[in-house]
């Protein structure tokens, strides 16, 4: 089975590996990312072929293996016998019945290219090469899967001080977060239809996150149990109290919706929208802030408004409603047009950078990984790493508190 020529095991010319095998890359990655991932083995007795840095080391490794092949110990013999009797492979799936109408595939006549005129030694090298390439592909595949999970983590409303969610926690939390957002939309629909909202949940991220980490799949009933309807704020008439609860950090009044004498503030997800009665409108998201200001209200400062609410408390819905005679329907056609125009203007003003192409294995580099929040910035200086994925695709949600807003002025 094994070649008796030692040199056959020592021919580690990299040319036997295809250009996309990523061998050098893997070796480099093992140093770059050694603190974040299991380093690729260099000194173990497994194949360890291309992953070892020098030919001398490779020779030593294979010399050891070669000696073992030539003179297997009793332990090795017993092990090899036992291993034949253990089936650790993926269980076979039942084969689908063949479709007789499906056209048969054509195969070339004669021996295939690989098995033709190849010595056992050459075949072994070919197999080993295939295995290395398969390992490399599998590694990259898992890396991309982890990239996707990291992206998911960044859009989930976790807090900076939290430890990184595990994979399963991330998936559970994402599921429950989507559920919670759906509940928000349902409440919003009830507002628009003139009905009282279904619930005014006393929501917060930490509860939802902790629930998710516990491994429970959230349901409507569980949702109501976990987030009970809070007591109405003082000054609100229960009969006409209308409010909906988003899932972002609430305003000082504990709600995600705030009706004031100046206008309306709505906070849903990562976006806060301020519609000012005088035309000074603002959209704030995790990616920045855009102000859409009517000429008559240039100089209006939303931050001052928020500060005023924090200090003196926001007026209740009824106060705002009565004072301004606001219509009950906030998301009517007119407001929709206002929002649409504002977003369109903002979209034209912002240049969207192309995100990194992950599909290029050759350019793959673990140093680009955003495993920790610190990867989003340059250490403690909070400078953006221009070559980081995070810089362009804005995944670093949890650190955007530090980001200065970009301001866009437009007339609506």
Provide the minimum distance between the beta carbon of 322 and DNA in the complex, in angstroms, as a whole number. Answer: 52
Q: Which is nearer to DNA, 35 or 193 (CB)?
A: 35
Q: Position of tokens 């949600």? A: 397
Structure tokens at 325: 């005679």
Q: Does 407 sit near DNA (CB under 7 A)?
A: no
Q: Please pick, from the candidates 68, 76, 114, 185, the single residue that binds DNA as defined by CB under 7 A.
A: 114
CA distance 336 to 128: 61
CA distance 71 to 58: 20
Asked if 32 and 367 count as a contact pair (C-beta separation under 8 A), the reply is: yes
Q: Please pick, from the candidates 17, 25, 26, 268, the single residue that binds DNA as defined by CB under 7 A.
A: 26
Counting every residue written for the chain, the total comes to 412
Asked if 405 and 284 count as a contact pair (C-beta separation under 8 A), the reply is: yes
Q: Please pick, from the candidates 55, 60, 77, 167, the single residue that binds DNA as defined by CB under 7 A.
A: 167
Q: Does 47 sit near DNA (CB under 7 A)?
A: yes
x/- letters, 186..225, toward DNA (CB under 7 A): ----------------------------------------
Q: Please pick, from the candidates 3, 28, 37, 392, the single residue that binds DNA as defined by CB under 7 A.
A: 37
8-state DSSP, 202: -
**Positions in 48-107 near DNA (CB under 7 A):** 51, 88-90, 92-96, 105
Structure tokens at 364: 């793959």
Residues 163, 169, 174, 179, CA torsion sign: negative
Q: Which is nearer to DNA, 85 or 381 (CB)?
A: 85
Q: Please pick, from the candidates 142, 148, 347, 407, the single residue that binds DNA as defined by CB under 7 A.
A: 142
Provide the minimum distance between the beta carbon of 52 and DNA in the complex, in angstroms, as a whole number. Answer: 11
Structure tokens at 137: 């592909």
Helix axes 167-192, 205-213, angle to 10 degrees: 140
Chain mean position to CA 90: 29
**Positions in 355-384 near DNA (CB under 7 A):** 371
Q: Does 133 sit near DNA (CB under 7 A)?
A: yes
Q: Which is nearer to DNA, 116 or 354 (CB)?
A: 116
Q: Please pick, from the candidates 77, 141, 220, 232, the single residue that binds DNA as defined by CB under 7 A.
A: 141
Q: Which is nearer to DNA, 59 or 118 (CB)?
A: 118
Burial of 314 (0-12, 13-18, 19+ CB in 10 A): buried
β-bridge mates for residue 283, sequence order: 273, 290
Q: Which residues bind DNA (CB under 7 A)?
A: 18, 26, 29-30, 33, 35-38, 40-41, 44, 46-47, 51, 88-90, 92-96, 105, 112-115, 130-139, 141-143, 146, 166-168, 371
């Amino acid at each position: 089975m094994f070649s008796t020529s030692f040199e056959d095991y020592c021919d580690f010319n990299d040319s036997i590996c295809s250009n996309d095998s990523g061998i050098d890359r893997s070796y480099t990655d093992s140093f770059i990312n050694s603190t974040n991932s299991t380093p690729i083995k260099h000194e173990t007795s497994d194949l360890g072929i291309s992953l070892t840095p020098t030919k001398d080391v490779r020779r030593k490794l294979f010399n050891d293996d070669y000696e073992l092949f030539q003179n297997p110990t009793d332990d090795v013999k017993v092990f090899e016998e036992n291993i034949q009797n253990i089936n650790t492979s993926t269980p076979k799936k039942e084969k689908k019945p063949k479709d007789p109408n499906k056209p048969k595939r054509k195969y070339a006549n004669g021996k295939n290219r690989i098995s033709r005129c190849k010595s056992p030694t050459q075949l072994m090298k070919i197999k080993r090469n295939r295995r290395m390439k398969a390992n490399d592909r599998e590694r990259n595949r898992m890396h991309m899967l982890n990239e996707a999970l990291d992206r998911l983590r960044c859009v989930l409303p976790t807090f900076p001080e939290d430890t990184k969610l595990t994979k399963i926690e991330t998936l559970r939390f994402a599921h429950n977060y989507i559920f919670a957002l759906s509940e928000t939309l349902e409440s919003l629909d009830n507002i628009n239809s003139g009905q009282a909202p279904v619930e005014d949940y006393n929501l917060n991220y930490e509860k939802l996150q902790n629930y998710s980490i516990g491994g429970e799949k959230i349901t409507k009933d569980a949702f109501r149990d976990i987030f009970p309807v809070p007591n109405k704020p003082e000054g609100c008439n229960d009969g006409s109290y209308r409010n909906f609860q988003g899932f972002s950090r609430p305003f000082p009044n504990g709600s995600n919706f705030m009706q004031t004498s100046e206008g309306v503030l709505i906070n849903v997800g990562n976006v806060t929208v301020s519609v000012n009665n005088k035309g000074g409108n603002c959209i704030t998201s995790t990616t920045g802030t855009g102000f859409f200001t009517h000429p008559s209200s240039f100089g209006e400062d939303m931050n001052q408004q928020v500060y005023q609410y924090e200090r003196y408390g926001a007026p209740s819905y009824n106060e705002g409603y009565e004072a301004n005679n606001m219509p009950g329907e906030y998301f009517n056609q007119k407001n929709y047009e206002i929002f649409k125009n504002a977003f369109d203007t903002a979209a034209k003003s912002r240049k969207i950078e192309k995100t990194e192409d992950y599909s290029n294995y050759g350019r793959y580099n673990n140093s680009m990984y955003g495993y920790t929040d610190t990867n989003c910035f340059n250490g403690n200086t909070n400078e953006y790493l221009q070559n980081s994925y995070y810089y362009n695709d804005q995944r670093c949600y949890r650190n955007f508190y530090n980001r200065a807003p970009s301001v866009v002025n437009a007339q609506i």
